[in-house]
A and B are shown apart, each in its own frame.
Chain A
Amino acid sequence: MKVFTIDKKDWDAGIERTKLSYQVFGPVKEKEWHCFKALDKDEQPDMTYSNTRLSPKFLVQPQTEPMFTYTLDESQPDHHILKEVNKDTSPKAMVGIRPCDASAFLLVKRNFDAPQYQDPYWLKAYNAITFVGFACNDPCSTCFCTSAGCGPFHEAGLDVLLADDGDRFLAKSLTDKGDAFLAAAGWKVQADDAGKIEAMKQAAESKIGSHVSTGNLKAKETTQIYDAPFWEDTAFSCINCGTCTYSCPTCWCFDIQDENRGNSGVRLRNWDSCMFPLFTIHGTGHNPRGAKVQRVRQRFMHKLKYYVEKYDNGIQCVGCGRCIRLCPVNIDIRRVCNLMNDYDPAACVCPA
């Protein structure tokens, strides 16, 4: 594992060189917010950013993604037969992705890369990307990554970890893909003080001011937490807008739709959300999660109980804090997580 030092005056030229080998994505400020976008020639990632408003999951799972095309024209020999859409699998680099967002892909991968079925769309997109992460020296007040199995210098899911050290970046290569990216950029000076990253990491982790407790979640009875009295209270102010699920880097639910224009059409998949009643409604009109409280409970139970039990590998959350910052009615996953983790039906005397 090699650590390179990149003088900031060599940064722009290096990024330009990587564009010969990769389609490079990075954080760019658009109006008030940052978002990930493909960088044009001479366009640089804004390495002074905090984090993007929406997570970069759309680069692997686009909000709308064509799956198949077809023709309904019966004079064509292959009418009504679906044809696969070619995916762009050319190499891409996500420069400046925060460790939490890169780590989120690993959590989502458990869903799309299952033993029985593999999702070719998700996997092809994911495998084409080199993740050049950017450690957080100054986490936000809503970040709780260190207690969500992640951290400001977390390396899992990254190919390179960059750390901002004043007039230079330290770049730790974590994989072969990372080596290839750094070579393509032409950054070759090895750092003689690689240990500094560890000191920066500890300083950043000590700045994380909020935490969740998750240790009891796995052992709790599903039906007991499900029937806990705090759900009504938690869901009371929710307007089911879906902002939490759309901004979340670990939410992956989707819908599949056929869209026709004249005689040709596309089978698409679109982001969907467990906040919406249509998500689960039966053809008969029966809806197993027809009430708001059931949908709010589903979101938290999925992330903090079902996922925990199913994969035995932590919660389905990386602590990025987006849902907390963006929720229009201030529902806070940290509070809900702690309620669930601490819930003891025997000790409960009255609903909160």
Chain B
Amino acid sequence: MIQQPASARLSQKRGFTVQNPYLPYPVRIDEIITETEDKNLKTFKFVFLDPKDEDRFAYKAGQFAELSVTGKGEIPIGIASSPTEKGFIKFTVNKVGLVSTYLHSMKVGDIMGLRGPLGNSYPWETMEGKNVVIIGGGFAFTTLRSSIVYMLDPANRSRFKDINVIYGARSPGMLLYRDELAAWERRDDINMHITVDAASDPGWKYNVGFVPTITEQKAPVAGDDTYAIICGPPIMIKFTQPVLDKMGYAHDHIIMSLENRMKCGIGMCGRCNVGKEFVCKDGPVFTLAQLTTMPKEY
């Protein structure tokens, strides 16, 4: 029989009731939508098994979560729903690796986990009262969708000046959230500049051309009051950034969201660092001004 020394009992009594940040909230898949013509992108709508977990999961546009597929593992995915949308949370997932491929085979009603919200967000306080230019490409439009829905919410729209959206994909069938894009096109409080690399459909009535080109043509003039959020594949970012430079956007007015391989999502497991910053905890959102002081390890 082990007797505990007084101090050991004390330290246990002082004890740890810290919440386990690795424990996902249990969720049920409520809806699955195939987004793109190549069927490689699906949107998953989740409902929390315990409704109180939805309040605990209070998030901001630009944050991400670990989708925990029990028995397979976890993947970090940007939150595609907006904090203004209640009763569910959604993610658009590209079929790439072990977990995402299995997730694509799952069905409505299946149980899995959700851990988060994780990371910082787009700098909403900084952007309040400013013009916001959203530049997105391919399937990196998820947290941008969250941002647009958030800003267009009647409670929030007056908090921002002009909103411009430049969004491109390879072809019309590869654009995400096509119904919402069409609805935003019809509004007068947001300027949509949708583009595709090429369109075979003669009825295509939007832009044709790469995102950097359309950015040069459509993005508003730079200024202290204008912030650009860029999210897209590396090649798009590589060619869009010089365009913004040419247009005079200051590097602390260019906001980017990074991705790196992650496991813990809370700055502990050590792999997603870019210099001394962790993409999971200190990011994923950084200004270009910050990124220029960091190694290019992303």
Contacts and interface: CB of A to CB of B under 8 A. Distances in A.
A226 B295 contact: yes
Nearest to B17: A120
Given A72-B71, A123-B16, A81 B26 contact: yes
Given A116-B266, A254-B269, A180 B112 contact: no
Contacts of B22: 67-68, 256
Contacts of A79: 111
Contact of B297 (A123, A294, A309): A294
Interface string B255-287: 000011101101111111111100001000000
Interface stretch (A40-48, A150-158, A282-290): A282-290
B23 A258 contact: no
Contact of A84 (B23, B113, B264): B23
A241 interface: no
Interface stretch (A140-148, A272-280, A326-334): A272-280
A128 B234 CA distance: 47
Contact of A223 (B5, B10, B295): B295
Contacts of B110: 80
A289 B16 CA distance: 37
A306 interface: yes
Nearest to B49: A81
Contacts of A119: 21, 268
Interface in A139-179: 176-177, 179
B5 A256 contact: no
Contact of B70 (A70, A226, A256): A70
A289 B5 contact: no
B269 A260 contact: no
A281 B295 contact: no
Contact of B73 (A72, A258, A272): A258
A116 B280 CA distance: 12
A91 B5 contact: yes
Given A80-B112, A116-B281, A120-B18, A280 B261 contact: yes
Given A82-B23, A117-B267, A89 B12 contact: yes
B71 A68 contact: no
Contacts of B264: 254, 256
B294 A283 contact: no
A22 interface: yes
Contacts of B259: 282
Given A111-B268, A258-B73, A302 B273 contact: yes
Contacts of A12: none
Contacts of B200: none
A313 interface: no
A307 B273 CA distance: 11
B295 A280 contact: no
A123 B268 CA distance: 13
B268 A112 contact: yes
A52 interface: no
B12 A21 contact: no
B5 A180 contact: yes
B20 A120 contact: yes
A118 interface: yes
Nearest to A302: B273
Given A222-B293, A274-B270, A254 B71 contact: no
B4 interface: yes
Given A82-B23, A274-B270, A222 B18 contact: no
A288 B270 contact: no
B221 interface: no
B281 to A, nearest CB: 7
Contacts of A117: 21, 266-268, 281
A130 interface: yes
A310 B276 contact: yes
A13 interface: no
A82 B2 contact: no
A280 to B, nearest CB: 5
A114 interface: yes
A283 B100 CA distance: 9
A180 B6 contact: yes
Contacts of A118: 16, 18, 21
A239 interface: no
B131 to A, nearest CB: 31
9 contacts: A68-B23, A70-B71, A84-B23, A117-B266, A252-B270, A254-B263, A272-B270, A283-B97, A302-B270
Given A21-B4, A176-B10, 19 more contacts: A67-B22, A80-B26, A80-B112, A81-B26, A81-B113, A91-B2, A91-B4, A91-B5, A118-B18, A120-B20, A128-B11, A128-B12, A256-B73, A260-B71, A279-B271, A283-B261, A288-B260, A298-B273, A302-B270
Interface of B: 2-8, 10-12, 16, 18-24, 26, 49, 68, 70-75, 94, 96-97, 100, 110-113, 234, 259-261, 263-264, 266-276, 281, 293-298
Interface of A: 20-23, 67-68, 70, 72, 79-82, 84, 89-91, 111-112, 114, 116-120, 123-124, 127-128, 130, 176-177, 179-181, 183-184, 222-223, 226, 252-258, 260, 265, 269, 272, 274, 279-284, 286, 288-289, 294, 298, 301-302, 305-307, 309-310
Q: Sorted from nearest, which 8 A-B pairs have the closest CB atoms? A: A253-B270, A91-B8, A283-B96, A306-B276, A180-B7, A180-B5, A80-B111, A80-B70
